[in-house]
Amino acid sequence: MAEFGFRLYFLLFAFLSVSFIFPSSVQSRTLEKTPKTTLLDVSASIQKTLDVLSFDRETVQTTYQQQQEQTVPSSTTTDSSSSFTLQLHSRDSLHKSSHKDYKTLALSRLERDSARVRSINTKLDLAIKGIKKSDLKPMETTDDGVEAKSDDLEGPIISGTSQGSGEYFSRVGIGSPPKPLYMVLDTGSDVTWVQCAPCTDCYQQTDPIFEPSSSSSYSPISCNSDQCETLDVSACRNGSCLYQVSYGDGSYTVGDFVSETLTFGDSGSVNNVAVGCGHDNEGLFVGSAGLLGLGGGALSFPSQVKVSSFSYCLVDRDSSSASTLEFGSKAEPTNAVTTPLLRNRQFDTYYYLGLTGLGVAGEMLSIPPSSFEMDERGNGGIIIDSGTAVTRLQTNVYNSLRDSFVKGTQNLPSTSGVALFDTCYDLSKMNTVEVPTVTFHFPGGKSLDLPAKNYLVPVDSAGTFCLAFAPTSSSLSIIGNIQQQGTRVSFDLVNSLVGFSPNKC
């Protein structure tokens, strides 16, 4: 670490708490097109909790890697007018879980998810306060050396519950010739990075560590380049740019900022993409080789290759199957429920969307639309994030949703809460059950009804299911990936739209 001349920066901050008072004048209204109840297949969900820890990951991983190696092009180069497609997978299918049962797996995931949300709020809070990461002082090192804490592309996606995270993976070729590596898909980050040899400190990953000397397209980025100057935290060594990216859960990556070629299966490749070559990496990225940054900032992959749109469909979090990540014309939404894609002038990474309300059992809840709106300073609003698992809502909004859901499930046996979930049920004696439909409402009278499995989820293999929403004291709300699974989510960057296409994986 010392050879890079700079240390991990610690983010010290105070969260802002914002309370909203809902006016009594806002009345509930019945929605004719929304079914009052939705069927939850309890038996199928419980079976998946058993399967996720027992299937042969080595066979799945070997088969998929062989398929990828057979389709990786040797010299095809694609510019921003081309189409890219990648498969997406759950982390479970790539890296053997250390958890012995589903409950410990679920608790680990929820703990990781809470760290993720703290990270999101940290970065946004710093931006709103006008504090740059480069302004923060480095944490001192102790005596024992421990730091106190284009147009079209397509690829595969995987769910990551086994390591306690909500991330999904895609396999991307790095370098020339391309070295296929599993990368975390993250719409909440901008910088794409990969672990590189030699490692001062690298965590365990499924693939061999990337060797820069084996790539003919590897090229250091100069310190005075636009890419280097755009980094939140950077340094210079012998005229070459060094980068650092830290996350609110304590994870970080440090190394050389370089230009490389990225290859997307048989879709083609893109030259001169700025990526981090991390020699010192710590955190909860176990299994992946790095991260594919899909945020809205200037250094994100979509921004660098200037794609007009991208989309993904996230498979069931307990599934070993794959779906796709697509860029360009293939990613444009078809028959989708669309809502405005909004940006925060203080922080351009996150994707905000227009949400006007929530519905339960066919009735719009008494929540004013302002509860989901961003103010002039950049506070509030609601983002959609591929890396957060559980949807977070302002406390009063959550309470309204929960109370309405509980009212519609009085016939179901309740049980004690689990971790951040306070509304849970014992469904061990049921095969299927009717539960109130939960609906997202968007501007223009548009709505999206969620499948029951996207909001009533198992937390063990004994039949305990919990409502997969959680309150937050932050003014920022987040739509997580549990609510997104099985739905193709598209980002039309030209027309500023987010699209939801159910059952389009």
Over the stretch 2-47, which tens digit does the pLDDT of each residue have? 444 443 333 333 323 333 333 333 333 344 578 899 999 999 999 9
pLDDT per residue over 412-457, tens digit each?
999 999 999 999 999 999 999 999 999 999 999 999 999 999 999 9
pLDDT at 101: 87
CB 87 within 8 Å of CB 324 = yes
pLDDT at 267: 79
Strands 487-492 and 309-313: antiparallel
Asked if pLDDT for residue 233 goes beyond 60, the answer is yes
In 285-346, DSSP assigns E strands to 290-293, 309-313, 323-327, 337-344
pLDDT at 62: 57
Lowest mean pLDDT among 75-79, 88-92, 105-109, 143-147: 143-147
Alpha-helix runs per DSSP H in 30-56? 42-51
pLDDT at 216: 97
CB 477 within 8 Å of CB 381 = yes
Higher pLDDT, 81 or 501: 501
CB 372 within 8 Å of CB 401 = no
pLDDT per residue over 157-215, tens digit each?
544 433 334 468 888 999 999 999 988 889 999 999 999 999 999 988 888 999 999 99
pLDDT at 69: 52
Asked if pLDDT for residue 458 goes beyond 60, the answer is yes
pLDDT at 23: 34
Query: How far apart, in whole angstroms, are the C-alpha atoms of residue 422 and residue 417?
Result: 4
Higher pLDDT, 267 or 454: 454
Asked if pLDDT for residue 334 goes beyond 70, the answer is yes
pLDDT at 21: 31
pLDDT at 82: 59
pLDDT at 57: 56
Q: Taking the chain, what is the end-to-end CA distance rounded to the nearest angstrom? A: 42
Lowest mean pLDDT among 227-241, 326-340, 437-451: 326-340
Lowest mean pLDDT among 93-107, 241-255, 373-387, 393-407: 93-107
Kindly compute the dihedral angle of the four CA atoms of residues 480, 482, 486, 490, in this order, to the nearest 10 degrees. 10
**Residue 299's pLDDT band (cuts 50, 70, 90):** very high
pLDDT at 332: 74
pLDDT at 120: 86
Assign domain 42-52+101-128+155-502 to its CATH superfamily.
Answer: Acid Proteases (2.40.70.10)
Asked if pLDDT for residue 250 goes beyond 80, the answer is no
What average pLDDT does this structure show over 379-408? 95
pLDDT at 99: 77
pTM over 0.75: yes
Average pLDDT, rounded, for the chain: 82
Q: Catalytic positions, please?
A: 186, 385
- Residues in contact with 84: Cβ distance below 8 Å, sequence separation at least 6, in sequence order: 78, 150, 152, 153, 154, 155, 264, 267, 268, 270, 326, 327, 328
**Ramachandran assignment for 392, one of left (phi > 0), alpha (psi -120 to 50 degrees), beta (any other):** beta
Strands 477-479 and 382-384: parallel
Sheet holding 438-442, edge to edge: 29-30, 363-364, 357-360, 438-442, 446-449
Asked if pLDDT for residue 285 goes beyond 90, the answer is no
Over the range 45-74, which residues count as b (16 or more CB within 10 Å of their CB) and which as e? bbebbeebbeeebeebbeebbeebeeebbe
pLDDT per residue over 81-129, tens digit each?
457 888 887 776 666 667 788 898 888 888 888 888 888 888 888 888 8
3-class secondary structure, 195: strand
